[in-house]
Amino acid sequence: MSYTKKRRVSEKSDESDDDNYVPYVPIKQRKKTQIKQVEKRLGRLTALKEQETGSTSEGTSEGVNDEDDDDEVNHGPKSRISLLDQHSDLKRKAEAKKETAREKILKEEEKILESVAEKQALKAVSELAKGIEYADPIKTGWLPPKYILSKSEETHEKVRKKYHILVEGENKPPPIKTFREMKFPKPILHGLKKKGIIHPTPIQIQGIPAVLSGRDMIGIAFTGSGKTIVFTLPIIMFALEQEKRLPFVNNEGPYGLIVCPARELAKQTHEIIKEFCGHLERDGFPALRTALCIGGISMKDQLAAINRGVHIMVATPGRLMAMLADKKFTLDICRYLCLDEADRMIDMGFEEDVRTIFSYFKGQRQTLLFSATMPKKIQNFARSALVKPITVNVGRAGAASLDVVQEVEYVKQEAKIVYILECLQKTAPPVLIFAEKKQDVDAIHEYLLLKGVEAVAIHGGKDQEERTQSIDQFRKAEKDVLVATDVASKGLDFPDIKHVINYDMPEDIENYVHRIGRTGRCGKTGVATTFINKGVDETVLLDLKHLLIEAKQKVPPFLFEMQPDNEKYLDIGGEAGCMYCGGLGHRIADCPKLEALQNKQVAGIGRRDYLAAGSADY
Ligand code: ADP
Ligand code: MG
């Protein structure tokens, strides 16, 4: 103890020499210091000599080194280790430190994810209460062709690898490379051909056999990669099988139910099903009845259809629950449920609605979940609703379609609306413009009309008639531009959109992926232009930056320059990006969505209220 004290004093005196300040040091102490300095010099000399001669004499040098830090013992000019060895030793130590830091971060992330996991499984309350658990998937009458069944798992794995299909789950159904081998009847094959659908896309190659086998499934694939076919064609086949066995009578059904987050998407899916059912009927197959159950349209028409007995229903959650609560129909014989854009539905605070819908089912059902974006947290949660699920992944969940050229431009807030006109020159129509707020949609719409642009608009504040008319006109190419909120960002499949303009950057990177995914669909290419400025949250911009890098797009200089401290942690391994929201530009510990959610929870505001405020009508 006393020794260190002395040492400090001696150091101080050294320092103060430089400053021309000489404090009083007692003579006894000064002498001791001098002796020590001489000893030190001598020690160094002996150490050097020893290094030169290669001999060792521990006594002297050790006595001098005693007072140094433990870590430093072997390093520095005094030590007898070569500089090269010292360097590699230090490097090894630094790496070890980094490795443990990395593990620590990954562990912490797991903990955060666990702590935010939903406490309650995604099951109907009655199922939870009775502890009902189904052990095996539903049995169907479909089997793959014998020669495909007889092929080895290795051969199947080769096919999957070729098409970049990742499959998880027990007893993986085989991938099948043609619609004919999937055993669809001729009118369906003709119908597909008529739509220009000849060869199945990767999600269809693996997804359709899984669904036809009766498996529960999570299907994740790029926007515009043909997910709709994966769940619509099998449900048509199952309904046909049922109808052939025992025709549906009044008030019976639905047998299959498809739930979508937005009305326009439900309508679009319903049209596709009707189209294929029409092909079948014209070819002599039994007629299948379908119903559309969405808000904003008359209940009367829908009820008339339902009362005749319905095979397949496409619905949005709100209207569906209202009709079920009013006992307008039941899900007693429903055995097939598909949630399209599933993560959007569960994530937006609809999980209670989903549980409510589940509660109307009697007996086991086949459950399917589809989306282009599905963060780990939602996948884990969703799995609690499924029985021995198969997860089919084509591309990273949340990755942007590679057929979209993504451009990001810095535009000042006040210049944005005028700049749209210039932007419209980039491509030919049709063009889709997205804005977060309804007022902005109205303002842009009005401005474009004033400038003589053939534009229509939709958002949750407009009545359904106007919404439907706008969509129809845009679909038929009678109008060149559609201005919309995020109601139109998910699932809508307009023919050949050339350009998507984001008037603002969505708060949520996944909405960005869905928005730009309205173009570049099924092999075609498109352009997306996004306006950003100082007002945009930094975390979203970082997510955007890394999404652009992932899709090998040009990163504009102002985005490239954004390099916050925590960016260095991005590639520490584990799940890419944030496990909570799927953003690539941050890890879960920095997730703004999670933080916002936790703040709201702390403030005692229910999740639904918080989300309902911002969401359009679903
Ligand atoms: P997703 O739901 O994955 O975003 P959709 O199911 O809406 O994509 O399909 C996008 C478009 O691609 C639709 O117009 C559809 O008719 C077309 N399509 C689907 N499958 C194929 C295929 N195998 N070959 C060519 N076009 C296809
Ligand atoms: Mg879709």
The predicted-structure confidence for 205-222, as pLDDT tens digits, reads as follows 999 999 999 999 999 999
The finding on whether 224 has its CB within 6 A of some atom of ligand 1 is yes
pTM of the model: 0.80
Q: Are residues 429 and 375 in the same domain?
A: no
Kindly state the average pLDDT of the residues 129-135. Answer: 76
The finding on whether 229 has its CB within 6 A of some atom of ligand 1 is yes
* 581 close to 547: Cβ distance less than 8 angstroms: no
Determine the residue of 198, 225, 272, 314 to mutate for testing ligand 1's pocket, defined as the one with the most ligand atoms within 8 A of the Cβ atom. Answer: 225
Select from 80, 96, 114 the last residue of a domain: 80
406 Cβ contact list (under 8 Å, min separation 6)? 400, 516, 528, 530, 548, 551, 553
Kindly state the average pLDDT of the residues 311-320. Answer: 96
pLDDT value, residue 42: 64
Residue 568 resides in a domain: yes
More confident residue, 141 or 100: 141
Range from 202-206, 350-354, 531-535 that averages highest in pLDDT: 202-206
| pLDDT tens-digit series, residues 520-560 | 998 899 999 999 999 999 989 999 999 999 999 999 998 99
Task: Indicate whether 193 pLDDT > 70.
Answer: yes
Residue 90 resides in a domain: no
pLDDT value, residue 207: 98
Q: Which ligand approaches the C-alpha of residue 202 most closely? A: 1
388 Cβ contact list (under 8 Å, min separation 6)? 135, 136, 137, 169, 170, 171, 215, 216
pLDDT value, residue 341: 93
CA 265 to centroid of ligand 2, rounded, Å: 8
**Residue of the nearest CA to atom 15 in ligand 1?**
226
pLDDT value, residue 600: 64
The minimum-distance atom of ligand 1 relative to the CA of 200 is 23
* Parallel/antiparallel/unpaired status of strands 217-221 and 481-484: unpaired
Select from 394, 420, 453 the last residue of a domain: 394
Determine the residue of 272, 273, 521 to mutate for testing ligand 1's pocket, defined as the one with the most ligand atoms within 8 A of the Cβ atom. Answer: 521
More confident residue, 339 or 523: 339
* Per-residue pLDDT band at 447 (split at 50, 70, 90): very high
* Per-residue pLDDT band at 15 (split at 50, 70, 90): very low
The finding on whether 197 has its CB within 6 A of some atom of ligand 1 is yes
**Residue of the nearest CA to atom 4 in ligand 1?**
224
% the chain with pLDDT above 90: 58
Enumerate the H helices of 308-463 as residue ranges: 317-325, 342-345, 351-359, 376-383, 416-423, 438-450
* 280 close to 185: Cβ distance less than 8 angstroms: yes
Compute CA distances 3 → 7, 9, 36, 66, 433, whole Å.
Answer: 6, 10, 11, 11, 75
CA 88 to centroid of ligand 2, rounded, Å: 54
Q: Are residues 463 and 577 in the same domain?
A: yes
Residue type, 585: G
Task: Indicate whether 313 pLDDT > 80.
Answer: yes
More confident residue, 575 or 150: 150
Please report the sign of the dihedral spanned by the C-alpha atoms of residue 233, residue 235, residue 236, residue 237: positive
The finding on whether 106 has its CB within 6 A of some atom of ligand 1 is no
% the chain with pLDDT above 70: 84
Q: Are residues 372 and 246 in the same domain?
A: yes
Q: Are residues 156 and 48 in the same domain?
A: no
pLDDT value, residue 70: 40
Task: Indicate whether 23 pLDDT > 60.
Answer: yes
| pLDDT tens-digit series, residues 220-275 | 999 999 999 999 999 999 999 999 999 898 889 899 999 999 999 999 999 999 99
| Residue 261 CB neighbour total at 10 angstroms | 27
Q: Residue 373 — left, alpha, or beta (φ > 0 → left; ψ -120 to 50 → alpha)?
A: beta
pLDDT value, residue 474: 97
Q: Are residues 255 and 185 in the same domain?
A: yes
Residue 214 resides in a domain: yes
Write the CATH number for 488: 3.40.50.300
**Residue of the nearest CA to atom 18 in ligand 1?**
226
* Per-residue pLDDT band at 14 (split at 50, 70, 90): very low
Select from 394, 418, 438 the last residue of a domain: 394
The finding on whether 270 has its CB within 6 A of some atom of ligand 1 is no
pLDDT value, residue 113: 77
Helix (H) or strand (E) holding 433, with range, is strand 431-434
* Per-residue pLDDT band at 169 (split at 50, 70, 90): very high
Burial class (CB in 10 A: 0-12, 13-18, 19+), 91: exposed
| pLDDT tens-digit series, residues 264-309 | 999 999 999 999 999 999 999 999 999 999 999 888 888 888 899 9
Nearest to 373 by CA among 284, 488, 491, 521: 491
Q: Which domain holds residue 348?
A: 125-394
pLDDT value, residue 577: 81
Tokens of 367: 């459950």
**Residue of the nearest CA to atom 27 in ligand 1?**
197
Determine the residue of 194, 211, 220, 228 to mutate for testing ligand 1's pocket, defined as the one with the most ligand atoms within 8 A of the Cβ atom. Answer: 228
Tokens of 100: 């443990």
* Per-residue pLDDT band at 21 (split at 50, 70, 90): low
Task: Indicate whether 331 pLDDT > 90.
Answer: yes
Q: How far is CA 412 from the centre of its chain?
A: 29
The minimum-distance atom of ligand 1 relative to the CA of 272 is 16
The minimum-distance atom of ligand 1 relative to the CA of 229 is 6
Q: Are residues 449 and 585 in the same domain?
A: yes
pLDDT value, residue 610: 30
pLDDT value, residue 77: 58
Residue 107 resides in a domain: no
117 Cβ contact list (under 8 Å, min separation 6)? 377, 380, 381
Residue 210 resides in a domain: yes
Q: Are residues 565 and 496 in the same domain?
A: yes
The finding on whether 193 has its CB within 6 A of some atom of ligand 1 is no
Task: Indicate whether 453 pLDDT > 80.
Answer: yes
Residue 108 resides in a domain: no
pLDDT value, residue 155: 97
Q: Are residues 70 and 131 in the same domain?
A: no
Residue 33 resides in a domain: yes
Residue 68 resides in a domain: yes
Beta bridge partners of 256: 312, 336
Compute CA distances 41 → 17, 38, 44, 47, 474, whole Å.
Answer: 19, 5, 5, 10, 88
pLDDT value, residue 612: 31
pLDDT value, residue 58: 41
The minimum-distance atom of ligand 1 relative to the CA of 340 is 2
Residue type, 499: H
The finding on whether 161 has its CB within 6 A of some atom of ligand 1 is no
How many separate domains does the chain show?
Answer: 3
Q: Are residues 441 and 343 in the same domain?
A: no
CA distance linking residue 542 with residue 560, whole number of Å: 9
Compute CA distances 499 → 158, 314, 432, whole Å.
Answer: 36, 29, 6
Q: Are residues 277 and 176 in the same domain?
A: yes
Q: Are residues 597 and 513 in the same domain?
A: yes
Task: Indicate whether 4 pLDDT > 60.
Answer: no
The finding on whether 316 has its CB within 6 A of some atom of ligand 1 is no
Q: Are residues 377 and 410 in the same domain?
A: no
* Per-residue pLDDT band at 67 (split at 50, 70, 90): very low
Task: Indicate whether 407 pLDDT > 70.
Answer: yes
Angle at 352 between CA 347 and CA 357, to 5 degrees: 110
